[in-house]
């Protein structure tokens, strides 16, 4: 089964073709980072317009790379939520129209299920069951995964997602957008330990997260640094390092707690923040001590992409799931409402 995947939930237009026998045949991605950078964050209307401009050219590019025509596909998968309403509508309408025109079924994919299943695109893929850490600009969740569509939320952020906190910290430090890579780059030159940041909610029972207090602590630290007259490049790097260490430690502690609670030893990490090399190294080191294993997608599949949507869509199309002719996006869509496969 060959499935075309379309991702347009936020600020990246992703298109890919997945073959159930040959794996990923072709993929292409267009990032809107430069478009939104001057605003310090995503502008929904601009994002929607750019998806309209780039989606069909990317579809043609991917079909050419795969040496295929649209009529040779077996299905079309599109991100139906959660995400920005206007951006979702672009992919949903285009995907449903292409499927109708080519005479193939279409399936609506949950954006976070796509992220959760992205490590399955790698040669060394995890087996069910496992704990998934979904950590991005919009979500921070710990999920027990017993199979496709069989999800139980163990904990989630009560306010800012980890990726959102990175973006806000970067803005406070004047490091630019998107914040995650900018903070990580600055932290490489920082002195760990000069500043001590709190690890939010790690001393409380449960697996929920909260990063708003850490954001406030960062703001106060930056303000104190400026008042002291020493807010230079090194000071910014030191604050960035302290912030990153606090987020990484918090995520590692919560992941370890979730694995113990559920009596599992396999962790899957996905979403934009999962590309953070310090987080990857710290989790691998921690789990190695207990015989556990951590899986994550290649860096280019950590952020939004069409490959994860094509794969997730193929999983559901194979068991006969498909959409009607109507289009009904879900900007808010709990993963626990998904149908098991």
Binding-site residue numbers for substrate are 134-138, 167, 180, 276
Helix (H) or strand (E) holding 172: helix 162-173
Distance CA 12, CA 303 (A): 9
Which is it for strands 130-135 and 23-31: parallel, antiparallel or unpaired? unpaired
Distance CA 262, CA 260 (A): 6
Strands (E), 114-232: 130-135, 140-147, 150-156
- 54 with 34: CB under 8 angstroms? no
3 state SS of 156: strand
Annotated binding site for Fe cation: 111, 115, 304
Distance CA 288, CA 283 (A): 8
Distance CA 106, CA 92 (A): 10
The alpha carbon of residue 100 and the mean position of all alpha carbons in its chain are separated, in whole angstroms, by 29
Q: Is 241 exposed, middle or buried (0-12, 13-18, 19+ CB in 10 A)?
A: buried
DSSP 228-241: TT--SHHHHHHHHH
Beta bridge partners of 122: none
The answer for residues whose C-beta is within 8 angstroms of residue 164's C-beta and 6 or more apart is 137, 138, 211
Distance CA 19, CA 3 (A): 7
Annotated binding site: 111, 115, 134-138, 167, 180, 276, 304
Backbone angles phi and psi of 9, in degrees to 5: -80, -25
Backbone angles phi and psi of 117, in degrees to 5: -90, -5
Question: How many other C-beta atoms lie within 10 A of the C-beta of residue 55?
Answer: 23
Structure tokens of 125?
Answer: 């893929």
């Amino acid at each position: 089964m060959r499935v075309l995947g379309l991702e347009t939930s936020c600020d990246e237009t992703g298109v890919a073709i997945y073959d159930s026998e040959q794996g990923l045949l072709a993929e292409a991605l267009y990032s809107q980072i430069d478009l939104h950078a001057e605003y310090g964050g995503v502008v929904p209307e601009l994002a929607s317009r750019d998806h309209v401009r780039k989606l069909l050219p990317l579809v043609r590019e991917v079909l050419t790379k795969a040496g295929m025509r649209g009529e040779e596909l077996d299905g079309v998968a599109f991100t139906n939520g959660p995400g920005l309403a206007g951006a979702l509508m672009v992919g949903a309408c285009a995907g449903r129209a292409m499927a109708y025109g080519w005479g193939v079924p279409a399936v609506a994919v949950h954006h976070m299920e796509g992220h959760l299943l992205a490590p399955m695109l790698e040669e060394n893929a995890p087996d069910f069951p496992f704990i998934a850490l979904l950590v991005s600009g919009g979500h921070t969740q710990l999920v027990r995964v017993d199979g496709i569509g069989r999800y139980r939320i163990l904990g989630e952020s009560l306010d800012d997602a980890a990726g959102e906190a990175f973006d806000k910290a970067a803005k406070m430090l004047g490091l630019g957008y998107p914040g995650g890579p900018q903070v990580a780059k600055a932290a490489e030159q920082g002195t760990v330990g000069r500043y001590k940041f709190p690890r939010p909610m790690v001393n409380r029972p449960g697996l929920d997260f909260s990063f708003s207090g850490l954001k406030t602590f960062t703001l106060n630290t930056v303000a104190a640094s400026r008042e002291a007259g020493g807010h230079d490049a090194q000071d910014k790097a030191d604050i960035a390092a302290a912030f990153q260490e606090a987020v990484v430690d918090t995520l590692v502690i919560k992941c370890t707690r979730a694995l113990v609670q559920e009596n599992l030893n396999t962790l899957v990490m996905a979403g934009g923040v999962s590309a953070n090399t310090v987080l990857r190294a710290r989790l691998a080191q921690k789990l190695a001590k207990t015989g556990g294993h951590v899986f994550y997608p290649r860096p280019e599949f950590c952020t939004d992409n069409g490959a994860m949507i094509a794969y997730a869509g193929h999983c559901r199309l194979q068991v006969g799931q498909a959409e009607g002719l109507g289009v009904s996006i879900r900007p808010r869509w709990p993963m626990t409402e998904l149908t098991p496969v």
